[in-house]
Each structure stands twice: as C-alpha cells, then as structure tokens.
Amino acid sequence: MEDVWIMDSGCSRHMTGHRKWFSSLNPVSTKEYITFEDNGQGKVMGVGSISLSAKLSLREVAFVRNLGFNLDLRFVLRKVRAAFLMLRRPMFAFCCLLVFRVDLTSFSASRICFVASPSADIWKWHRRLGHLSFDLLVRLSSMGLIRGLPKLRAEKDLVCHPCHHGKMVAASHIPVSQVMTSYSGELLYMDTVGPARVASVSGKWYVLVVVDDFSRFSWVFFMEFKDEAFGFVRDLVLRLRNESHKAMRAIRSDNGGEFRNSRFEYFRRDLGLEHQFSSPYTPPQNGVVERKNRTLVEMARTMLDEHRTPRRFWAEAVNTACYIAN
C-alpha cells in the first residue's frame, strides 16, 4: 500500500509512513503523536515536502511511524477543487463518501484536470437553482439570462431522484363517460362554495350546490353559515321523495363538517340512505359537483364583469347561472 494515497475528509494534515516519497525531510524537535482510529498512536518523525511532479508538490507532510497509508484531503480540495485528478496514464481511483483511494504508481509529470463527469456542471447548477428542470436550465444558459451561469449542454437520461420524490403528483383519475344511475333522484352530489369575498345583498357568504347524477339538474342554496346546509338538504330530499315514484338511494359529499355530522347521520338512517364520502384531498371522487361549482362561478363572474355590476350581487348572478344551466 506504499503507492496508495487515501484522500480522507477526517485527515487533519498530509501524512505518510513511507520515507521514499520525501524530497526533503526535516526532523521535529517536539514530541508529536498521531492517534489512529483504533486508538493506536504513531510518532511524527519529521515534516517535509513531497514532489509528485515538476509543478505539483505537497508541503508540510508529516512522516509518521507505523502509518501504513498515505493520508491527505487538502491536496484534492485545494489543487483540483473537488475534481478528480485524471492522469494521462491509467490510474485506479475509488470513491466512498468523502474518502478517495488513488494509486499514484503511474503518476506522470503531465496531468489533466477534469470534472468527475461531463454532466457535473449541469448537476451543480441544477441543485444551486433549487432543482430547476434540466431543459429549462439549458435554455436559460443558452439565452444568457442568469449572470454567472455558464453555457450548459443538454444530456440524455439525466434522472434526479429528489426531483421525482419532491415533485410527484397524484395520477389522474380515469374519466367516467357514462352515467352510473338509472333514474333521476337516485344519487345526489353536494358541495359548498365559499366564503365569498363580500357578502351578498341578503348577507349570505356560502353557496350549497346539489347536482342530480342522472339528469345533471342542479340546485343552489345560499347560506350565511355552513351549518345551514343540513336544513336545505333535508328539505330537498324530502321534496324529491314526494315528487318521485322511485326511491332515492344515496347522497355523496366530501368530508366537510357541514356534511359529516350527527344530524346527517340520523337523517340518512331514518330514510335508509347511503351517505358516500370522497376520500380526503381527493376532489375528483366528487367531480360532478366540483365541475358544476366551477361552471356556475365562472358564469356568474363573467356576467358581473361584463356590466361592472357590484360584487354584492354575486348570489343573484349564481342563481341566474344555475337557471341557465338547467
């Protein structure tokens, strides 16, 4: 192992146990010892210089008795600035965390300094700019929009695992193109919208939207507080049961407190209804009424903006949009 150098982050100074490396060596006047990982110690016999080439040398290298390896870290960091020292002749290098094992038996006076791989620059700037996408990073470098950003070359098959983990999104739900119910009133979707930015003329802040799955007919109810939703749903369900000759089977909503409470539970038990809840943070499972909410809000906003109508008339605009959609 005389010709193997260990570039170690835990190394406090250049040191070796082999006298042959030194071009000059001066004995030390004080007693100094180096403690090894196994708690063993080696005495510093002298300090000198090691010449690796005509232009590259190590200074203040300690000659330590019983040291079987050549240890160094600053050689890598200072001389080649965290890049591997690649020689014109073959050289064996092994990296593990911040420990590099390099065989210098074939060291040549001529040397070339390269980065670890051709993509090191793009990886460095990818991390420096907060894991910006590689395509956008290359485009910005070609346009010269960022001061100090060098020209980067696009490369294939660059995979950043932290990006995959941190930027992942839920898979899209498969759209359902057919109606799953057989008659009107069999299944009702419901959701609340709000609070609005301003109160309506009648002092309302929320909208309860109910949609029939079979006919897509919708109802809107305006509320001052969310807990008023139960009263509107109860009256609508009872009215539809009286008007229809077929039984209502289920209602579907999200997990909001205005729907998931004891009053709704007792009511659906008395009528034999099934209350279906969408999974948390999964609005597509209640997508029928979610899309209806967007349609009604966009129609109402457009009508208000066209004539610069005051925002307090938003309830009237939503009610008109629901009438038009039906």
Burial of 277 (0-12, 13-18, 19+ CB in 10 A): middle
Same domain, yes or no: 197 and 316:
yes
Q: Is residue 27 part of a domain?
A: yes
Same domain, yes or no: 9 and 109:
yes
- 10 versus 66: which is more confidently predicted? 66
Nearest to 15 by CA among 98, 78, 77, 71: 71
Q: Is residue 169 part of a domain?
A: no
- The mean pLDDT value for 276-300 works out to 90
Q: How confident is the model at residue 237 (pLDDT cuts 50, 70, 90)?
A: very high
pLDDT at 78 over 50: no
- pLDDT score at 85: 40
pLDDT at 241 over 60: yes
Q: Is residue 255 part of a domain?
A: yes
Q: How confident is the model at residue 200 (pLDDT cuts 50, 70, 90)?
A: very high
- The mean pLDDT value for 307-317 works out to 92
Q: Contact 208/223 with Cβ under 8 angstroms? A: yes
Same domain, yes or no: 272 and 320:
yes
- pLDDT score at 94: 45
Q: Is residue 59 part of a domain?
A: yes
Same domain, yes or no: 150 and 270:
no
- pLDDT score at 190: 94
Can you give the three-state secondary structure of 222-288, one letter per residue?
EECCHHHHHHHHHHHHHHHHHHCCCCCCEEEECCCCCCCCHHHHHHHHHHCCEEEECCCCCHHHHHH
pLDDT at 104 over 70: no
CATH number of 298's domain: 3.30.420.10
pLDDT at 95 over 50: no
Same domain, yes or no: 39 and 101:
yes
Same domain, yes or no: 195 and 302:
yes
Q: How confident is the model at residue 74 (pLDDT cuts 50, 70, 90)?
A: very low
Task: Tell me the β-bridge partners of 61.
Answer: 48
pLDDT at 43 over 80: yes
**Among the three residues 61, 90, 113, which one is the final residue of a domain in this structure?**
113
* Residue 206 to residue 98: CA distance in whole angstroms: 59
What lies within 8 Å, CB to CB, of 18 at 6+ separation is 2, 70
- 198 versus 150: which is more confidently predicted? 198
Same domain, yes or no: 79 and 146:
no
* Residue 77 to residue 58: CA distance in whole angstroms: 13
pLDDT at 75 over 60: no
- pLDDT score at 13: 73
* Residue 55 to residue 38: CA distance in whole angstroms: 36
- The mean pLDDT value for 233-251 works out to 90
Q: What is the pLDDT of residues 206-218, one digit of tens each?
A: 999 999 999 999 9
When mean pLDDT is compared over 92-106, 133-147, 196-210, 274-288, the highest value belongs to 196-210
Same domain, yes or no: 85 and 134:
no
DSSP-derived secondary structure letter, 63:
E
pLDDT, averaged across the chain: 80
pLDDT at 135 over 90: no
Q: Is residue 32 part of a domain?
A: yes
Same domain, yes or no: 313 and 195:
yes
Q: Is residue 170 part of a domain?
A: no
Same domain, yes or no: 31 and 100:
yes
Entry pTM? 0.54
Q: Contact 25/64 with Cβ under 8 angstroms? A: no
Same domain, yes or no: 147 and 273:
no
The number of folded domains in the chain is 3
Burial of 291 (0-12, 13-18, 19+ CB in 10 A): middle
pLDDT at 21 over 90: no
Domain boundaries, position 141:
120-154
Q: Is residue 166 part of a domain?
A: no
Lowest pLDDT segment from 32-36, 40-44, 105-109, 257-261 = 105-109
- The mean pLDDT value for 164-186 works out to 82
- 246 versus 51: which is more confidently predicted? 246
Q: Is residue 68 part of a domain?
A: yes
Same domain, yes or no: 319 and 191:
yes
- The mean pLDDT value for 21-41 works out to 79
User: What are the DSSP calls for 187-201, one per residue?
Assistant: EEEEEEE---SS--T
Q: Which two tokens stand for residue 50?
A: 């090691």
